[in-house]
């Protein structure tokens, strides 16, 4: 083994997201280390209360209440700012950037208010400021917008960017219950931010939309100049009426740019969206984003918007990008080299045998239209332990023939192919049985 460089990571804030990042790097860190050719050390986490019990394994010696023990430690390469709030977070982020560190953040409000200053500080001191986790955690939207779809100009970006309000609207719609009733539940489940206005009045979605608008159009739009409305006023009557008109109600952020007049608009408001539009199917705590590019056309992405794991996934992808940028390599270069490491990890993987591939199936048989056929078919299936879930019989175009169409309960690929073979051998089955899989 050659000497590997050690990358040291410090966390400002050790709440839900911080602990998620810690946990997943503990669990999957080795795979990342092989890919990147470095050693990753979780060096220190700043907490408010040393005594508090936490759900992750962490040595007491790695906890501190002193933010500067992370921000000013010259050994620490990457600082994850997961504390939230703007004033103190700004101060600490700037200190870290001034020391040339890379800062990874999930703090949308901070970027929204001070993005310019922060990016400038990062550039000036040779560090960097990464923020994939700030918008729609489980959807790598920053990377998609900035890298994957770099060839495009975006005339329209719209989406559901706040999971909590989407959860409330989805339940109001499904259960016909009032906003107040569902809100009470959502609070009890811990889905609503301490500052409820962020979720309920659209501020959280607005912060995220401002970041997307900046990425797409290079302009910081002040939240004051956004058409901003939340979901408090929506009644079950609205939801019902919208449905009668063929719509669902979703809290949408809509960013439009007209490239002819060069006008841009950004609105965040509850919006009626046609049932035929896939966005109307983005329910519960999920986020959805549609990007309309002049080259790629529409790209539509759905994923978990928030929560410990989805946000941690985004933070870790930024940490990986941070490490790559510290190594001075381009992403693909590393990836090519990493493939060897990757394959090492995949050692011992084998292809599943047909008997190990579980599924349920659809079968269409052309059979003689005479008594006893159904029982013969059922017997063949029973012999292979294939149990029939539902069946339809249809008249066939040919006289004296019928279609027997059925679905099975869960079985496996071997049992079903044996069944098909046996069915084909029956005199009453007139042609090769036609098999389809059922996705579950």
In the range 363-402, which residues lie near a copy of itself by CB under 8 A? Answer: 364, 390, 392, 394
User: Helices (DSSP H) in 234-307: which residue ranges?
Assistant: 236-244
Measured from the CB atom, the residue of 193 and 238 that comes closer to a copy of itself is 238
Does residue 303 touch a copy of itself according to CB under 8 A? Answer: yes
Does residue 34 touch a copy of itself according to CB under 8 A? Answer: no
CB of 89 to a copy of itself, least distance (A): 19
Measured from the CB atom, the residue of 189 and 392 that comes closer to a copy of itself is 392
Does residue 202 touch a copy of itself according to CB under 8 A? Answer: no
Specify whether the CB–CB gap between 363 and 378 falls below 8 A.
Answer: no
Nearest to 93 by CA among 50, 125, 138: 125
Among 84, 140, 163, 230, binds a copy of itself (CB under 8 A): 140
Per the listing, tokens 């946000």 go with 311
Specify whether the CB–CB gap between 375 and 338 falls below 8 A.
Answer: no
Tally the residues of the chain.
440
Name the β-bridge partners of 412. 358
CB of 284 to a copy of itself, least distance (A): 11
Taking residue 17's Cβ as centre, other Cβ atoms within 10 Å add up to 26
Which string of x and - marks every residue 108-127 that binds a copy of itself (by CB under 8 A)? -----------x--xx----
Measured from the CB atom, the residue of 62 and 364 that comes closer to a copy of itself is 364
Specify whether the CB–CB gap between 82 and 15 falls below 8 A.
Answer: yes
Per the listing, tokens 């890379």 go with 102
For residue 73, what is the enclosing H or E element? none
Among 185, 196, 238, 369, binds a copy of itself (CB under 8 A): 238
Q: Which stretch binds a copy of itself (CB under 8 A): 76-84, 204-212, 270-278, 374-382?
A: 270-278
Per the listing, tokens 């679905």 go with 407
Specify whether the CB–CB gap between 114 and 91 falls below 8 A.
Answer: no
Give the three-class secondary structure for 392. strand
Specify whether the CB–CB gap between 6 and 26 falls below 8 A.
Answer: no
439: exposed, middle or buried (C-beta count within 10 Å: 0-12, 13-18, 19+)?
exposed
Does residue 439 touch a copy of itself according to CB under 8 A? Answer: yes
Q: Which residues contact 238 (CB under 8 A, 6 or more apart)?
A: 249
Specify whether the CB–CB gap between 293 and 152 falls below 8 A.
Answer: yes
Give catalytic residue positions.
208
CB of 156 to a copy of itself, least distance (A): 10
The DSSP code for 139 is S
Nearest to 160 by CA among 296, 283, 292, 315: 283
- How many angstroms separate the CA atoms of 437 and 183, rounded? 41
Does residue 44 touch a copy of itself according to CB under 8 A? Answer: no
Measured from the CB atom, the residue of 330 and 382 that comes closer to a copy of itself is 330
Among 1, 52, 53, 233, binds a copy of itself (CB under 8 A): 233
CB of 333 to a copy of itself, least distance (A): 5
Q: Which stretch binds a copy of itself (CB under 8 A): 5-13, 61-69, 187-195, 266-274?
A: 266-274
Does residue 272 touch a copy of itself according to CB under 8 A? Answer: yes
Measured from the CB atom, the residue of 63 and 282 that comes closer to a copy of itself is 282
CA–CA–CA angle 234, 238, 241 (5° rounding): 170
Measured from the CB atom, the residue of 63 and 162 that comes closer to a copy of itself is 162
Does residue 164 touch a copy of itself according to CB under 8 A? Answer: no
Measured from the CB atom, the residue of 67 and 318 that comes closer to a copy of itself is 318
Q: Which stretch binds a copy of itself (CB under 8 A): 62-70, 83-91, 172-180, 321-329?
A: 321-329
Does residue 348 touch a copy of itself according to CB under 8 A? Answer: yes
Among 66, 117, 298, 370, binds a copy of itself (CB under 8 A): 298
Among 4, 88, 421, 437, binds a copy of itself (CB under 8 A): 437
Does residue 301 touch a copy of itself according to CB under 8 A? Answer: yes
């Amino acid at each position: 083994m050659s000497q590997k460089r050690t990358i040291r990571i410090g966390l400002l804030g050790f709440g839900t997201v911080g602990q998620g990042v810690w946990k997943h790097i503990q669990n999957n860190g080795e795979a990342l280390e092989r890919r990147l050719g470095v050693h990753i050390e979780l060096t220190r986490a700043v907490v408010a209360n040393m005594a508090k019990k936490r759900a992750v394994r962490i040595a007491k010696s790695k906890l501190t209440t002193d933010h500067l023990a992370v921000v000013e430690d010259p050994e620490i390469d990457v600082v994850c700012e997961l504390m939230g709030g703007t004033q103190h977070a700004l101060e600490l982020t700037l200190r870290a950037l001034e020391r040339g560190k890379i800062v990874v953040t999930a703090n949308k409000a901070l970027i929204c208010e001070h993005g310019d200053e922060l990016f400038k500080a990062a550039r000036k001191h040779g560090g960097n400021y990464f923020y994939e986790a700030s918008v729609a955690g489980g959807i790598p939207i920053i990377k998609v917008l900035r890298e994957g779809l770099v060839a495009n100009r975006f005339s329209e970006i719209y989406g559901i960017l706040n999971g909590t309000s989407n959860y409330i609207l989805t339940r109001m719609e499904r259960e016909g219950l009032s906003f107040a009733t569902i809100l009470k539940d959502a609070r009890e489940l811990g889905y609503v931010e301490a500052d409820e206005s962020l979720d309920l009045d659209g501020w959280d979605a607005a912060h995220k939309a401002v970041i997307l608008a900046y990425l797409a159009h290079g302009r910081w739009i002040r939240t004051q100049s956004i058409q901003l409305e939340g979901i408090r006023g929506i009644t079950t009557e609205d939801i019902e009426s919208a449905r009668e008109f063929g719509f669902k109600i979703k809290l949408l952020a809509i960013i439009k740019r007209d490239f002819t007049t060069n006008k841009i608009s950004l609105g965040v408001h509850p919006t009626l969206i046609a049932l035929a539009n896939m966005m109307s199917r983005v329910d519960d705590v999920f986020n959805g984003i549609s990007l309309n590019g002049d080259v790629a056309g529409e790209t539509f992405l759905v994923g978990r918007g928030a929560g410990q794991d989805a946000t941690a996934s985004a933070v870790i992808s930024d940490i990986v990008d941070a490490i790559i940028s510290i190594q001075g390599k381009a992403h693909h270069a590393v990836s090519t080299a990493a493939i060897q490491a990757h394959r090492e990890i995949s050692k011992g993987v084998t292809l599943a045998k047909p008997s190990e591939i579980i599924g349920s199936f659809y079968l269409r048989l052309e059979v003689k239209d005479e008594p006893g056929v159904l029982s013969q078919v059922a017997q063949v299936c029973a012999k292979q332990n294939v149990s029939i879930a539902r069946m339809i019989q249809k008249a066939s175009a040919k006289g004296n023939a019928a279609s027997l169409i059925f679905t099975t309960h869960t079985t496996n690929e071997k049992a079903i192919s044996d069944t098909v073979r046996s069915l084909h051998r029956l005199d009453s089955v007139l042609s090769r049985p036609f098999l389809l899989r059922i996705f579950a």
